[in-house]
Amino acid sequence: MNIKRHRRFEFLAGEYLKREGFDIEVTQGVADWGVDVFAEKDGIKYAVQVKMYGDCKTKINRRMMMELYGVMHYFDCQGAMMIFNGQMMPDAVKVAEKLDIQLVYIDQHQLDESCSEIDLSETEQTFDTVWNDISTLAGKTIANSRGTAYQI
């Protein structure tokens, strides 16, 4: 997985939303709880997840939709949106329809061309910025989804 490419896709998706009239905030990229962009339009706040699966076999599944729905409520958003460029499992589409999650397919190559004038150099994560985020966790205990705890 090319993290730099995926992070760039998150920022390009944010630029796409801006062009659609949304006020946006791209999250920090690490420890973002599954929200890549917060977007607001007409008083409605959206939790947006961006999936760049166009070049791989991985498909968006129902679990990803359910997690997005949960994180939408966790952050007190009124809507959820999945922006993607790959394939989606049929059950993921059913869950998205049932939970009213907006699905936005974006062709990355068209997006790259339409946003070519945007300078994304400031959006790159460096070791120092990631380390500063991680170092704030010193002395704390974190746990993964299986309940395994780690002391930092």
Query: Model-level pTM?
Result: 0.68
d(CA 48, CA 26): 9
Cα Rg of the chain, angstroms: 16
Q: For 25-46, how does the pLDDT look when each residue is reduced to its tens digit (9 = 90+)? A: 888 766 567 798 999 999 999 9
- Average of pLDDT values for 79-102? 94
Q: Are 16 and 83 in contact (CB under 8 A)?
A: yes
Which pairing describes strands 141-143 and 101-105: parallel, antiparallel, or unpaired?
Answer: unpaired
Average pLDDT score over the chain = 80
Per-residue confidence at 1, pLDDT binned at 50, 70, 90? very low
d(CA 138, CA 33): 19
